[in-house]
Amino acid sequence: MKLQEIVKNLGLEVLVKSNTFDQQIVEGVYVCDLLSNVMAHGRENDLWITIQTHQNILAVASLLNFSAILLPENLNPDRETLMKAEKENIILLKSSQTAFTLAGQLYELGLRGERG
């Protein structure tokens, strides 16, 4: 599914738009705030929902080829996170909804968390 579609459907705010934003696809969703657990289970083209806002989430997202990072509950990324995301071309999104609600909405759009 196109990330653009998800952004529109869920009314997400785009904080940082990479130059591949229009083509970006999403194949799955992963929700977790423990970085080593994310490293072990995150997959390419996942949309990652996390409450972590520091810059180390960018390394995790880029190392695992996530399609985007989504911050729930109106959380704002740290200033360095924002600047680094611009520089490294990593898509950052935010929403006022909780991770639970977002996950439910994404599930309804047909996205799944388990891996084939």
Partner 1 sequence: MNNDKHDLPSLTVKEIMITSVVTVFPEMTMGEAKEIMRLKNITGMPVIDKNRKVIGVVSIADVFQALDEHKLDAPIRERMTVKVHSVKPEDSISVALSLFRRYQFGRLPVVDDGNTLVGLITPKEVIAGLAAFLKLEEINEGDLGTKSGSEINRTLEFHLQGGNFDQAGIAASTLKKTLQEIGIRPEIIRKATIATYEAEMNVVIHADEGILKAVITADKLKISVNDRGPGIANIEEAMQVGFSTAPDKIREMGFGAGMGLPNIKKSSDYFKIDSLPGKGTDLYIEINF
Q: Is 83 in the site for partner 1 (CB under 8 A)?
A: no
Helical (H) or strand (E) element with 68:
strand 68-71
Q: Which stretches of the chain are assigned E, i.e. beta strand?
A: 13-16, 28-31, 46-49, 68-71, 92-94
Could you tell me if 97 and 105 are in contact, meaning their C-beta atoms sit under 8 angstroms apart? yes
Q: Is 80 in the site for partner 1 (CB under 8 A)?
A: yes
User: CA dist 87 to 28, 84, 90, 115, Å?
Assistant: 25, 5, 8, 30
User: In whole angstroms, what is the distance from residue 41 CA to residue 12 CA?
Assistant: 24
- Region 49-78 residues binding partner 1, contact defined as CB under 8 A: 50, 52, 54-60, 62-64
The minimum distance between CB 108 and partner 1, in angstroms, equals 27
Strand partners for 31: 49
Number of residues that bind partner 1 (CB under 8 A): 22
The minimum distance between CB 61 and partner 1, in angstroms, equals 10
**Contact stretch for partner 1 (CB under 8 A) within 4-12, 35-43, 90-98, 105-113:** 35-43
Query: Which residue's CB is nearer to partner 1, number 63 or number 109?
Result: 63
Residues near partner 1 (CB under 8 A) are 33-40, 44, 50, 52, 54-60, 62-64, 80
